[in-house]
Amino acid sequence: MKVLIADDDQISRLITKAAVEQSGHECIVALDGDQAWELYQLHRPEAVVTDLMMPGMNGLDLCRTIRSSEGDSYTYLILVTSHGSRDDVLAGMEAGADDYVTKPLDPFNLRIRLLAAQRITTLHADLARYRSALTEQARTDPLTKLHNRLKLTEDLAELHSLSDRYGQEYCLAMVDVDNFKSYNDIYGHQAGDAALVAIAATLAAEVRESDGVYRFGGEEFLLVLRRQSASGAEGVMERVRSAVHALDIEHSGDPDGVLTISAGVAAHSHEHPAGTEQLLKEADLALYAAKASGRNRVTLASPGSSPN
């Protein structure tokens, strides 16, 4: 555990540092509150032992500042007071401290507090990991492991805001697996699930890491192609379509004899600054046109088009 000590008194610093290191922890030392805040931002220690009265930022201000900057992390704060008055202890707890010790410092008391600090910060770290995992799980399609529509909604809002701010182009490509219902009817849903997983992996492999691939629903996928013009996105999607065809997943119910995809592409540009809902409608209409034209193809949307 990293422990930051903040104390302007040299003797107190030496005693505290010795107690921290004897407990087996890494020690970082600050000579006042302002330096402590700088070191905290640099090292992000799990625990801070701070004197109440220091030049510059005092112990209470340091506690408040740390608490306001933590985010998902948690720092165990131990306040060191000269006489342990009730007012000082109460003020420290209200400022965000977890515990306190009094001067002259008893190394044994501090080591006991550090044991509690390690347990508490470990618990908070575990909880943060669980929250992160749950957040990711809520935004991931369980079958294909692609992002789902919840994540898509969040990412589109962020992307559109950035595009408006910096004038960047982007494209949406709606993708549908051709004749997938008949594939399930012929080969069964287990084979259908395996086919979707293979196609999803191919879609993800054929685009840039900065692009996004999402399961939109059923056998539909949505690709977000950042900083792409309509013609550039069409080229990307032709490559994607060819890669899926090359998987050679047998489908006796399809004229091509294998599973294929169709795609509709809509572009956000200077000339067509449409919102995300409009782009989704345009991409969907372009997909419908690709299906109507014989499937296994990519069709660009006409700007401003929308379903009847």
CA distance 72 to 127: 9
248-264 average pLDDT score: 95
Q: Report the pLDDT value the prediction gives residue 304, as an integer from 0 to 100.
A: 56
Query: Which residue type, as a one-letter code, is found at position 301?
Result: A
- Give the tens place of pLDDT for each residue, 145-189: 999 999 999 999 998 888 878 788 999 999 999 999 999 999 999
- pLDDT-based confidence at residue 307 (cuts at 50, 70, 90): very low
Beta strands per DSSP E along the chain = 2-6, 26-30, 47-51, 76-81, 99-102, 170-177, 212-217, 220-226, 261-268, 298-300
Q: What is the pLDDT of residue 305?
A: 55
Helix (H) or strand (E) holding 259: none
**DSSP labels, 80-110:** EESS--HHHHHHHHHHT-SEEEESSP-HHHH
Average pLDDT, integer, range 96-124: 93
pLDDT at 165: 82
- C-alpha dihedral (28, 87, 67, 59), degrees to nearest 10: -30
Q: What is the pLDDT of residue 308?
A: 44
Q: Looking at the predicted structure, is the pLDDT value of residue 306 above 60?
A: no
Q: What is the pLDDT of residue 104?
A: 87
State the catalytic residue, choosing from 46, 169, 206, 219: 219
By residue count, the chain amounts to 308
User: For the segment 118-157, what is each residue's pLDDT rounded down to a tens digit?
Assistant: 999 999 999 988 988 888 889 999 999 999 999 999 999 9
pLDDT exceeding 70 applies to what percent of the chain? 97
Name the class of domain 149-300.
alpha beta
Query: Would the CA dihedral through 107, 110, 116, 117 be positive or negative?
Result: negative
Residue 94 among the catalytic residues:
no
Confidence class of residue 31 from pLDDT cuts 50, 70 and 90?
Answer: very high
Give domain 2-137's CATH superfamily.
Response regulator (3.40.50.2300)
Specify the pLDDT at position 216.
Answer: 95
The percentage of the chain sitting over the pLDDT mark of 90, rounded to a whole number, equals 79
Nearest to 49 by CA among 65, 69, 29: 29
| Residue boundaries of the structural domains of the chain | 2-137, 149-300
